[in-house]
Homo-oligomer: A and B are copies of this chain.
Amino acid sequence: MTRNEQLKQPLTGIIPPMVTPLLEDMRLDLEGLTKLVEHLIAGGVSGLFILGSSGESTSLSYAIRHQLIKETCRRVAGRLPVLVGITDTALAESLSLAETAQASGASAVVAAPPYYFNLNQKELFNYYEKLAGSLTLPLFLYNMPGLCKVHIEVSTAIRLSEHPNIIGLKDSSANSVYFQSLYQSLRGKPDFTLLVGPEEAMAESVLMGGHGGVSGGANMFPKLFVKLYEAAAQKDFATVADLQAIVMQISNSLYGVGMYSSSYLKSIKAALSLMNICQSHMAPPLAAFDAAETKHVTPIIEQFKLTLEKRGLL
């Protein structure tokens, strides 16, 4: 058993939402997985979050989801906490993924709201209470209104934070008022972890009291985000300004290419392919950039690699 029995609370720093390396035939790319895990650990991240949106969790067969949990935990081997996404529309499948996570030595699980039926806050609360009560691993809530259609409202999150098995929340709403409301309402619970999803908002949320970021771009450039996190945590404002500018240049130049909602993810996989870490394949209904799009992003990615290399951040 290699789990971190004592998951540090609150969990701080950068916990990348790890992309899932796939072969062209949609099997797991096990070699890519090894390289990606080592790339991230070498980059100084505080943990790994697998099977989130960036991990294309909902596009993967269950067999592959279970395999990914085992293979990732085996590779990490207790060096870092592994957080496992168990978001699903079927409670039974979420619990099954959580069992595999537990058996594999993961530290916690993460669940966004069930994303098919439209739920009100009472239904959402009841769902999370039932889920948390059935788990042995601790649970992070995951607010993702853009994909799940429902907001975990502040009052619902506060009530759920009373549950002994719910230890944190990841917010991907990009709404700074929501995050501040949550943060101020939870000041009496300093161990409750508050992480922010969009990498563009990570630095400012940490400046304002957040514990860290689940920053997708950290798949490509973990050192950039780790350094930016540290600067924000230490209130080193000059470094924050400097690195935030790079983070935003990445966002502005890459994440809108092709005008897909998932351009962000396509760009990250394209970059990992250029860096020989894993291939760029994506599971349907998403797809990797086509040839023209890849040609467009390649020099941009190369330029960022140079920029970061010069600063010792690659």
Report whether B123 and A285 are in contact in the complex, using a CB–CB cutoff of 8 Å: yes
- Tell me the nearest residue of chain B to A93, going by C-beta: B61
Contacting residues, chain B, for A181 (C-beta < 8 A): 200, 248, 251-252
Q: Which of A92, A178, A235, A260 has the most CB of B within 10 A?
A: A92
Q: Is A261 an interface residue (CB 8 A)?
A: yes
- Do A184 and B237 form a contact, CB below 8 Å, given A176-B200, A260-B120? no
Overall SS of chain A's interface: helix
* A-B residue pairs, 8 tightest by C-beta: A184-B248, A58-B89, A61-B92, A118-B261, A58-B116, A176-B201, A127-B285, A176-B176
Sample of 17 further A-B pairs with CB below 8 A, known A60-B92, A62-B93 = A64-B92, A89-B285, A91-B284, A117-B147, A118-B147, A118-B262, A123-B260, A123-B286, A149-B149, A176-B201, A176-B205, A177-B201, A180-B201, A184-B244, A185-B248, A235-B235, A235-B237
Q: Is A137 an interface residue (CB 8 A)?
A: no
| Docked complex Cα distance between A154 and B96 (Å) | 39
Report whether B235 and A285 are in contact in the complex, using a CB–CB cutoff of 8 Å: no
Report whether B286 and A117 are in contact in the complex, using a CB–CB cutoff of 8 Å: yes
- Tell me the nearest residue of chain B to A123, going by C-beta: B285
Cβ of A251 to closest chain B Cβ, rounded Å: 7
Tally chain A residues at the interface, Cβ within 8 Å: 70
Report whether A92 and B26 are in contact in the complex, using a CB–CB cutoff of 8 Å: yes
- Do A285 and B124 form a contact, CB below 8 Å, given A89-B58, A261-B118, A262-B117? yes
Q: Is A307 an interface residue (CB 8 A)?
A: no
Report whether A208 and B203 are in contact in the complex, using a CB–CB cutoff of 8 Å: yes
Number of copies: 4
Identify the A interface with B (CB < 8 A). Answer: 26, 53, 58-62, 64, 89-93, 96, 113-120, 123-124, 126-127, 130, 146-147, 149, 154, 174-178, 180-181, 183-185, 187, 198, 200-201, 203-205, 207-209, 235, 237, 240-241, 244-245, 248-249, 251-252, 259-262, 283-287
Contacting residues, chain B, for A177 (C-beta < 8 A): 174, 198, 200-201, 251
- Tell me the nearest residue of chain B to A158, going by C-beta: B252
- Tell me the nearest residue of chain B to A260, going by C-beta: B120
Can you list 9 A-B pairs with a CB-CB distance of less than 8 A?
Answer: A58-B117, A89-B285, A91-B285, A126-B285, A174-B176, A176-B205, A180-B204, A184-B252, A207-B208
Report whether A287 and B123 are in contact in the complex, using a CB–CB cutoff of 8 Å: yes
| Docked complex Cα distance between A116 and B145 (Å) | 11
Report whether A59 and B91 are in contact in the complex, using a CB–CB cutoff of 8 Å: yes
| Docked complex Cα distance between A233 and B245 (Å) | 18
| Docked complex Cα distance between A215 and B251 (Å) | 28
| Docked complex Cα distance between A126 and B285 (Å) | 8
Q: Which of B174, B259, B285 contacts A117 (CB 8 A)?
A: B285
Cβ of A115 to closest chain B Cβ, rounded Å: 6
- Do A146 and B118 form a contact, CB below 8 Å, given A90-B61, A92-B26, A181-B248? yes
